[in-house]
């Protein structure tokens, strides 16, 4: 079975008037099918940059990103779009639900998923009764769970989640982590950036991102 995600010597720099600022410095990481990986780090540490690099949406300054063994920045933009559409489910920190579509339509549009698949995933995140509602009729927690269902509905090989429990209460946060854990247990790979320490109860491995480097956190006994 191929590794779902492999990053090697990954570096990323941002340029500004004062020069360049490195947020990732020769980072290595692999995520296997069946694994859930958590990444911690202060705001501005580079977690979102790391996820965008891994999700084929931001080319790193240096290094390689492979999805199932395919170097994704060595292919065309159109081929990367196909990888995103079929192999990756992305849960954005800003959610990015389309406001004039119902929840069900939001799930179906990017992936072409069936009505049945959309409704099944909405049921799994506790939103079965809200399928025909538009996002602004929902609470923030409901929108967060709807965005999670959208990331999973097409059964991708890799799910990338940026602060998926941000601004959620404990009950909703635990539901999100349980759904991601169940997805990993079914053979998917999950990479999560979070400030929420409770992810440690669900993740196989956790890392700290600090000064551009990833350091694995020791497991609590």
Q: Which domain holds residue 212?
A: 34-59+76-216
Q: How far apart are CA 134 and CA 75, in angstroms?
A: 36
Structure confidence at residue 32 (pLDDT)? 97
Q: Identify the H or E element spanning 109.
A: helix 103-111
Structure confidence at residue 168 (pLDDT)? 84
Decide if 83 contacts 92 (C-beta within 8 A). no
Q: How far apart are CA 57 and CA 127, in angstroms?
A: 29
Whether 201 is covered by a domain: the verdict is: yes
Q: What total number of domains does the chain contain?
A: 1
Whether 64 is covered by a domain: the verdict is: no
Q: What is the CATH number of the domain that holds 139?
A: 3.40.50.300
The residues, ordered by sequence, that sit 6+ positions from 214 with a Cβ below 8 Å of its Cβ are 27, 28, 29, 39, 207, 208
**pLDDT tens digit at each of 221 positions of the chain:** 689 999 999 999 998 877 788 899 999 999 999 999 999 999 889 999 999 999 999 999 999 999 999 999 999 999 999 999 899 999 988 888 999 999 999 999 877 889 999 999 999 999 999 999 999 999 888 999 999 999 999 999 999 999 998 878 888 899 999 999 999 999 999 999 999 999 999 999 999 999 999 999 886 65
The residues, ordered by sequence, that sit 6+ positions from 185 with a Cβ below 8 Å of its Cβ are 34
Buried b (16+ CB within 10 A) or exposed e, 17-52: eeeeeebbbebebebbbbbbbbbbbeeebbbbbbbb
Structure confidence at residue 221 (pLDDT)? 54
Whether 24 is covered by a domain: the verdict is: no
Whether 193 is covered by a domain: the verdict is: yes
Whether 8 is covered by a domain: the verdict is: no
Structure confidence at residue 220 (pLDDT)? 62
* Nearest partner of 161 among 183, 133, 209, 193, judged by Cα: 193
């Amino acid at each position: 079975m191929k590794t779902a995600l492999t990053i090697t010597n990954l570096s990323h720099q941002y340029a500004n008037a004062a020069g360049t600022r490195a947020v990732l410095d020769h980072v290595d990481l692999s995520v296997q099918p069946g694994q859930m990986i958590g990444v911690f780090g202060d705001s501005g540490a580079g977690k979102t940059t790391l996820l965008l690099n891994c999700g084929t949406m931001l080319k790193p300054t240096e290094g390689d990103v492979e999805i199932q063994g395919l170097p994704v920045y060595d292919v065309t933009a159109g081929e990367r779009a196909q990888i995103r559409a079929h192999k990756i489910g992305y849960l954005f920190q800003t959610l990015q639900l389309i406001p004039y579509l119902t929840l069900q339509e939001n799930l179906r549009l990017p992936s072409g998923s069936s009505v049945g698949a959309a409704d099944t995933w909405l049921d799994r995140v506790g939103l079965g009764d809200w399928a025909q509602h538009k996002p602004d009729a929902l609470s923030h927690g409901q929108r967060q769970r709807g965005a999670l269902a959208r990331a999973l509905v097409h059964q991708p090989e890799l799910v990338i989640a940026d602060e998926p429990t941000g601004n959620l209460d404990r009950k909703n946060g635990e539901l999100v982590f349980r759904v991601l854990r169940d997805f990993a247990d079914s053979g998917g790979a999950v990479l999560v950036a979070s400030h929420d320490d409770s992810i440690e109860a669900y993740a196989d491995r956790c890392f700290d991102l600090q000064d551009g480097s990833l350091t694995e956190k020791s497991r609590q006994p």
